[in-house]
Amino acid sequence: MRINPLPARGSPLGRTFARVIERRSPRLALAILTAIVLIGLLAPLIAPYDPAAQPDIVRMKDLPPSAAHPFGTDPYSRDVLSRVIYGARLSLLIGVLATVVTVTLGVAFGAIAGYAGGIVDAVMMRILDAFLAIPRLLLLVAILAAWPRLSIGALILFLGLTGWFGLSRIVRGQVLALKHAEFVTAARALGASRRRILLRHLLPNLVSPIVVAATLGVAHVIVLEAGLSFLGIGVPQPGASWGNIIRDGSDQVAALWWMSLFPGLMMVLTVMTLNVLGESLRDAYDRSW
């Protein structure tokens, strides 16, 4: 048994987090991510132009980067820099909201399956297997191609609905492992209801794996959304998402290189910082056991 030199203070998640930002690369990642979030939040103040404005579709389209348009303009004469800035807002929003859906469903399904056990658990796990067998992108393509011109809200919902299977399995495993722990038996002996045991005793112990899965999940959703938008079934026009901007330039990749380079760089930066944070959180959490 390991003896801590000091009594642990604060919540388990807070301690994990403190351990994460002690190191250099996650600290840098957090700083970059904060900057990108700020860019997204303050998009209307930062963006030099309206992201949907088409000032002169004849003379101002397809302009290469210049002082007036640092990231150039697109085939509809819109300013690419402004669209990339608004893209940060939309991509992060979609990533976070879809992950909220994912976490809610994944935790509920996994916790119920793990706690119920027996045949309920077996059936629920087979359902999960079937969904996990379909590649997420293909499932989304089948759904989104059937409903053309979906709103962003519906897109978020579908991104969330197709992403919770893996997390569910993790949560179920944790609940199964903790179900017969002493503190749960004690709570049961004190007459706590199932619901209370699940919400007050089991769930707090699941926070760390959920936070890890959510951080990596946001990164994954951003990539997926960009991919779907690139295929033309994601964010509807004239909404600016990173994938959308790249799609607008994809017919003439060579002539309009600035339309794939800049939004792609922003996206890679965002996804990479989220991955660094998620993995550092996981490392820190693994070491705390």
**Site residues for other proteins per CB under 8 A:** 126-127, 129-130, 133-139, 141-143, 145-148, 219, 223, 226-227, 230-233, 243, 246, 250, 253-254, 257, 260-261, 264, 267-268, 271-272, 275-276, 279
Q: Which is nearer to other proteins, 208 or 280 (CB)?
A: 280
CB-nearer residue toward other proteins: 171 or 233: 233
Question: Positive or negative CA dihedral for 265, 266, 271, 277?
Answer: positive
Of the pair 96, 178, the CB lying nearest other proteins is at 96
Cβ nearer to other proteins, comparing 37 with 46: 37
Assess contact for 62 and 73: CB atoms under 8 A.
yes
Q: Classify residue 238 by burial, with Cβ atoms within 10 Å: 0-12, 13-18, 19+.
A: middle
- The least distance separating other proteins from the CB of residue 266, rounded to whole angstroms, comes to 11
CB of 2 to other proteins, least distance (A): 17
CA distances from residue 31 to 252, 274, 276 in whole angstroms, order as listed: 35, 11, 12
Least separation in angstroms between residue 3's CB and other proteins is 22
Give min distance, CB of 249 to other proteins, in A: 9
Q: How far is the CB of 230 from other proteins (least distance, A)?
A: 5
Handedness of CA 25, 29, 32, 38 (dihedral sign): negative
Helices (H), ranges, the chain: 12-21, 24-41, 43-46, 80-116, 118-133, 136-146, 152-161, 165-178, 182-189, 194-196, 207-231, 242-249, 257-287
Nearer to other proteins, 53 or 134 (CB): 134
> What is each CA distance from 116 to 121, 127, 280, in whole angstroms?
6, 15, 33
Nearer to other proteins, 34 or 250 (CB): 250
Hey, what are 169's tokens? 């399995």
Q: Cβ of residue 209: shortest distance to other proteins, in angstroms?
A: 17
